[in-house]
Amino acid sequence: DAGVIQSPRHEVTEMGQEVTLRCKPISGHDYLFWYRQTMMRGLELLIYFNNNVPIDDSGMPEDRFSAKMPNASFSTLKIQPSEPRDSAVYFCASSSRWSSYEQYFGPGTRLTVT
Amino acid sequence: DQQVKQNSPSLSVQEGRISILNCDYTNSMFDYFLWYKKYPAEGPTFLISISSIKDKNEDGRFTVFLNKSAKHLSLHIVPSQPGDSAVYFCAGEGGGADGLTFGKGTHLIIQP
């Protein structure tokens, strides 16, 4: 298995632009998680899905952030409009129903908003 | 409110010796505790876990100890190897949520 795939690996954009981050979870996994890593706050959970349904989005910082999972093999995290303080590394992770706590992370997307 | 705390940002250990990484937590509802290892420019990788009903779990060179009364867990790596140099994150899971709550990490440096 290729593991969790994220694209792009790096994204540089100007303030006010829309940014879309993509994730393909491990095949057969039922859970998908989006995390953000910053120097100030470390790794924090933004939102997670179970069987493509958003379960908990309490970590999403603002209405500018939205996430979708249209099918079991694809999820997006969108920021519109983007701001410099959104600059961070965004990780996607997935896990199976049998051990939801053992999460497998993608390589991350490093977002820079200028 | 930081529910998972790793108070040592970095730790330097000589190759072959034991590395001990510590973690404290405040949420008594966590069901599982996990340790993740992270190399630069990569995502965290799962290392070892322990259920809240256990006090020890061992996997090769890695052992995790849980002291529930003290709300403390530790990861022991013995013997330490150069490839162990990485950032180690402690995480808790449960309390009604499936996502992980991470500490801020400890950068372990193994010196030759």
pLDDT tens sequence across A2-27: 899 999 999 999 999 999 999 999 99
> Do B98 and A31 lie within an 8 Å CB cutoff?
yes
> Do B100 and A45 lie within an 8 Å CB cutoff?
yes
Residues in B touching A48 (Cβ below 8 Å): 98-99
Query: Which pLDDT score is estimated for A76?
Result: 98
Residue of A nearest to B40 (CA): A107
Q: Which residue do the tokens 């249209």 mark? A: A70
Model confidence at A98, pLDDT cuts 50, 70, 90, reads: confident
The Cα of B42 is separated from the nearest Cα of chain A by a number of Å equal to 5
* CA–CA distance, B32 with B16 (Å, rounded to integer): 29
> Do A107 and B41 lie within an 8 Å CB cutoff?
yes
Burial of A96 from C-beta contacts in 10 A (0-12 / 13-18 / 19+): middle
Q: Which amino acid is at B40?
A: P
